Structure 1
Amino acid sequence: MGIDRILERKVFYAGTKILKEGDEGDRAFLIQDGEVDIIKHGAVVATIGKGELLGEMALIDDRPRMATAVARTDVACIVISRDTFREKLAKADPFLRGLLNIFVRNIRSLSD
């Protein structure tokens, strides 16, 4: 089974809200094309693009979204469901899983 059969693709048009701060996270997005603004407290704190991951932290620690994400341009993404993410993570080295949890906890504490 190829990767195309496992993962869903989605397009968000410029100006579309992709994620909302405080919402539950049930999926992450791998940006294939376009740019996304990350907004915190009404200000753009980052712009991410092709090859970058969006919304992954909520899948790692089951906490609400940390920021709002809005498509700056038309954006094409691969959707990574919670189940797919957890399946892949379960196969990872336990040491790396532990590091990932520490990184996420540290990042969240910086923004609190």
Structure 2
Amino acid sequence: MDNVARRVVFPAGTVIFSEGEPGTTAYVVESGKVEVYKTVADKTIPIGRIDQGGIFGEMALIDDHPRMASAKALEETACVIIGKERLFQQMDKAPRGVRVIVNALLGNIRAMGTELAEASVILARDKD
């Protein structure tokens, strides 16, 4: 089953996954919009928006770290869900060094996402 892509429709407002959860699937948006956000100091900080054709949730599959952020459907959103096995089958077709580079990039993205969310909280605090 992990090798088969399947389609799921998420109603508006549905939390697709939460920060800190293990990642077992990635999502490709067929229609709709998804917001990716972090929670810092009890504040929700948007860090990205995924529209039709975009992918999210792939980082946790590739580097085996917990989800770095949460994802929520902003409107009714249809996604193709891709399991870890299927993703790795595709990655195995790439040259050997690609996985090393991808893991390094993911580490950088995770760090930047955390720094961005923390900076947003500090800036919001300074405005008050």
Superposition TM-score, scaled by structure 1 size? 0.89
Percent identity between the two aligned chains: 37
Unaligned runs of 5+ in 2: 116-128
Distance 2:99 2:68 in 1: 20
Distance 2:54 2:96 in 1: 24
Partner of 1:3: none
- Any idea what SS the aligned residue of 1:15 has? coil
- Give every structure 1 segment of 4 or more consecutive aligned residues whose post-TM-superposition deviation is greater than 3 Å: none
1:43-64 deviation digits (Å, cap 9, x = unpaired) = 2222211111110000110000
- 1:78 aligned to 2:76? no
- Any idea what SS the aligned residue of 1:64 has? coil
Q: Quote the RMSD (CA, aligned, Å).
A: 1.5
Unaligned runs of 5+ in 1: 1-5
Instruction: Specify the structure having the higher radius of gyration (Cα).
Output: 2
Partner of 1:18: 16
Partner of 1:52: 54
What one-letter code is carried by the residue in structure 2 that aligns with 1:47? R
Q: Which of 87, 90, 94 matches 2:89? A: 87
1:54-108 deviation digits (Å, cap 9, x = unpaired) = 1000011000001110000111111100111111111211122222111101112
Superposition TM-score, scaled by structure 2 size? 0.79
Give aligned pairs, total: 108
